[in-house]
Amino acid sequence: MGLVNARRARADRILDTAKDLLLRWGYRRIRIDEVAKRSGVGKGTVYLHWRTREQLLSAVGTRETAEMVDAVVAAIRADPLQVMPHRLMRRVFMEAMHRPVLRAIYTQDTDTMDALVADSSQKAMGGANFAGWREYLSILDEHGLLGEGLTAQDVHYPLTASVFGFFAAEPMLPDELGLSLDEKADQLANMLRRAFEPTRPPATKRVHAAADKVSALYERLADEFRTLTYGGDHDDSKR
């Protein structure tokens, strides 16, 4: 195993431990020495990868985000229609809600994430998300995949608010609502399709052209998240 791969494997082992403790104990109780002990490394070794506890725990989130984006890319490659907002956001919603760390971040679960959800270490992750989202909408606009008369600028805020509203509502929903995760995702998809997409199915050629560009965009975005996670140690062959 090469040096980079060995460092990557060690980093992943540490991140696996940190993730487990984060979900079991919550943000406040985690200490670097405990993560190191359970990972089978010295405390100083953890600091070779991440300078602070906050950076380590942020890396848990960025690694999981990279994995989610990889899943989105695979879905678009398999079915170009996944590039449409209602399909793409349905998948993102389902992927995030099935990944406990991302679920905690997106639903602002302070019992688990506490100050990390608002920590400065999350700003780079948020910036990458914002830039990628804006470029995605521009691609849809370029290929005529938004509703009649709508531009990327027109839909940026309302579409963003609509999607994040579904995450934000989770902690406040009563059990009596009785909706499964799939049903919530379906309702999100239906709302986005009606509000932001053409009334007629777009031409296959336009969908495929947009899908190619969006796949490339999200592959770059996943790599950015891996860089945020591992720094210069990430290995593209791991994708």
Average pLDDT per 10 consecutive residues for the chain, totaling 239 residues: 82 97 89 95 94 91 95 98 98 96 86 62 64 94 97 96 94 88 97 97 97 98 93 52
pLDDT for res 201: 94
pLDDT for res 128: 66
CA 180 – CA 166 distance, rounded (Å): 13
231: left (phi over 0), alpha (psi -120 to 50) or beta: left
Q: How many domains does the chain have?
A: 1
Residue type, 88: L
Whether the Cβ atoms of residue 26 and residue 112 lie closer than 8 Å to each other: yes
pLDDT for res 116: 61
3-state helix, strand, coil in the chain (%, to 5): 80, 0, 20
> What's the token pair of residue 32?
């670097």
Q: Domain for residue 101, yes or no?
A: yes
pLDDT for res 237: 43
pLDDT for res 145: 98
Q: Domain for residue 176, yes or no?
A: yes
Cβ-based neighbour number of residue 24 at 10 Å: 10
CA-closest candidate to residue 114, choices 33, 122, 65: 122
- Domain of 203? 61-229
CA 149 – CA 142 distance, rounded (Å): 13
Q: Domain for residue 44, yes or no?
A: no
Whether the Cβ atoms of residue 238 and residue 229 lie closer than 8 Å to each other: no
pLDDT for res 115: 57
Q: Domain for residue 32, yes or no?
A: no
Q: Domain for residue 199, yes or no?
A: yes
Q: Domain for residue 157, yes or no?
A: yes
pLDDT for res 175: 83
Q: Domain for residue 186, yes or no?
A: yes
Give the global pTM: 0.88
